């Protein structure tokens, strides 16, 4: 039996670009929103501030929640690797307090190779997770769709 894991993610959009974590796996490069797992007794905003410091080396200002996504591993393309995983992601609009120190952080995830500002008009051509972000984030930086996305990849 699996535990449900909470995760907080940052949507940081500036000047027609979105800040993403660049990762690598056996299939090549992929991109994720910065953020990660919630620790016990830590609220989601605290999680996001800590995770962004670890992955991006900067402090973020956390604004309103924009999307909630569930990921139930057994229902998706990587089920042979993560069928046990049930994660709920809370995606918040964020901004960086001071970009001077923006770089790959000191305690990145094992798959993280870099961070990258991705032009919004390039999202559709990249391997991005969750994939639904390609539909929800428009080239002008507007976010569309419902808040609760359900079990999507």
Asked whether 34 and 17 are in contact (CB, 8 A), the reply is no
Domain extent at residue 37? 4-151
Asked whether 66 and 93 are in contact (CB, 8 A), the reply is yes
> For the chain, how many structural domains are there in total?
1
Residue range 40-68, pLDDT digits in tens: 999 999 999 999 999 999 999 999 999 99
Closest CA to 62 of 51, 70, 73, 54: 51
Residue range 14-29, pLDDT digits in tens: 999 999 999 999 889 9
What CATH code is carried by the domain that includes residue 135?
A: 3.90.79.10
Work out the number of other CB atoms within 10 angstroms of the CB of residue 26. 4
pTM of the shown model: 0.89
């Amino acid at each position: 039996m699996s535990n449900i894991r909470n995760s907080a993610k940052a949507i940081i959009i500036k000047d027609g670009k979105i800040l993403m974590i660049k990762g690598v796996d056996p299939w090549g490069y992929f991109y994720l929103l910065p953020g990660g797992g919630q620790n016990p007794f830590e609220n989601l905003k605290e999680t996001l501030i800590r995770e962004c410091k670890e992955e991006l080396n900067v402090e973020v200002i956390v604004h309103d929640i924009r999307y909630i996504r569930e990921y139930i591993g057994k229902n998706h393309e990587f089920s042979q690797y993560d069928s046990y995983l049930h994660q709920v992601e809370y995606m918040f609009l964020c901004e960086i307090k001071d970009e001077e120190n923006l770089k790959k952080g000191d305690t990145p995830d094992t798959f993280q190779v870099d961070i990258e500002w991705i032009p919004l008009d390039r999202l559709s051509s990249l391997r991005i997770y969750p994939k639904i972000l390609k539909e929800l984030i428009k080239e002008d930086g507007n976010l569309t769709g419902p808040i609760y996305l359900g079990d999507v990849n």
